[in-house]
């Protein structure tokens, strides 16, 4: 309703919901998923063979799921740690600025685009989340560039850090044949495209009452079915936790009713409540009085 009154603009604010007690960020959940998948790779090496990027199969239009699965697989513990560290550095900031829906969409789109670029230009098998992480860096840079009026010098400083990090990683990737540089380039370009197309575009809007608020109107809005995926998953997880708590509570209850003798049900004793003195009874010396209004 408020969005309709604002003419399609949405009020924008930094999303700090993941910092509340008991709340987990999607960045942290992705890191946990990567760790779990690496554990499965160690237990069952066939997981790596089934999920790694295979350029010849992708270019033939076969097993296209391999565009997605390599984002959650890693080649070594150092590879996993380096990508997790990079994701924890950039991910929470992009998630707070973009919101959960656009953050996840950008992460997945960048990872898939990186694997598409890698399939076209690199025949070797590859895996890892670095393409998706590069996508988050590109999206963050594009967001700061599009909304430079709101962030001033701090935004320019962050843009300089991001651009230098991207440049150094590309140079390092070109110098090392073991690094899939095309996945980095494809993921970074996809992140920039996602931020320009679907990312927050901020405006300062005046209100009839005289105040002003920051509003967001992206070039193209994500479909609600995609934008609400994180909230739907949150609700399902919350219902699952509550169901587990209820099941645990009911399992701890005794399965047999309390009985004195067979055929007779034990009833609780009836206690007669005594009135307290001076607590508001009629005729008491200290009747209750309202705090306000007299």
Q: Which residues are catalytic?
A: 130, 184
Distance of CA 103 to the CA centre of its chain: 7
- 287 burial level (CB within 10 Å; 0-12, 13-18, 19+): exposed
CA 261 → CA 95, 254, 269, 276, distances in Å? 63, 17, 17, 38
Contact 118, 180 (CB under 8 A): yes
- Asked whether 222 and 101 are in contact (CB, 8 A), the reply is yes
The backbone torsions φ and ψ at residue 200, rounded to the nearest 5 degrees and listed phi first, read -65, 130
Number of Cβ within a 10 Å radius of residue 6: 15
Contacting residues for 164 by C-beta, under 8 A, at least 6 apart: none
Q: What is the DSSP string of 242-281?
A: HHHHHHHHHHHS-SS--EEETTEE--PPP-PPPPPTTSS-
Cα(136)–Cα(159) distance, integer angstroms: 13
Q: What are phi and psi of 265, to 5 degrees?
A: -95, 135
Q: How many of the other CB atoms lie within 10 Å of CB of 71?
A: 29
**Spacing of C-alpha 293 from chain mean position:** 49
Q: Which residue has the tokens 């997790």?
A: 84
């Amino acid at each position: 309703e408020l969005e309709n009154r604002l003419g399609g603009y949405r009020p924008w604010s930094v999303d700090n919901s993941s910092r509340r007690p008991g709340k987990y960020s999607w960045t942290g959940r992705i890191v946990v998923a990567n760790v779990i998948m690496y554990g499965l790779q160690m237990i069952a090496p066939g997981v790596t063979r089934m999920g790694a990027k295979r350029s010849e199969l992708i270019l033939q239009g076969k097993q296209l799921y391999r565009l997605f699965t390599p984002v959650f697989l890693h080649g070594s513990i150092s590879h996993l740690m380096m990508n997790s560290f990079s994701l924890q550095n950039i991910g929470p900031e992009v998630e707070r600025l973009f919101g959960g829906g656009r953050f996840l969409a950008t992460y997945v789109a960048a990872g898939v685009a990186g694997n598409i670029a890698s399939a076209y230009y690199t025949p070797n098998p590859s895996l890892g989340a670095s393409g998706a992480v590069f996508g988050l860096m590109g999206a963050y840079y594009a967001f700061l560039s599009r909304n430079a009026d709101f962030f001033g010098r701090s935004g320019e400083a962050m843009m300089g850090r991001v651009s230098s990090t991207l440049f150094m990683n590309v140079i390092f990737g070109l110098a090392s044949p073991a690094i899939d540089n095309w996945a980095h380039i494809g993921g970074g370009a996809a992140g920039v495209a996602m931020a320009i197309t679907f990312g927050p575009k901020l405006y300062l809007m005046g209100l009839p009452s005289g105040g002003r608020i920051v509003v967001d109107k992206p070039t193209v809005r994500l479909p609600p079915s995609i934008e609400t995926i994180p909230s739907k998953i949150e609700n399902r997880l919350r219902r699952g936790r509550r169901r587990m708590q209820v099941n645990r509570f009911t399992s701890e209850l005794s399965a047999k009713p309390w009985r004195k003798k067979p055929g007779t049900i034990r009833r609780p004793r009836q206690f007669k409540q005594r009135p307290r003195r001076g607590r508001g009874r009629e005729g008491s010396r200290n009747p209750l009085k309202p705090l306000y209004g007299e």
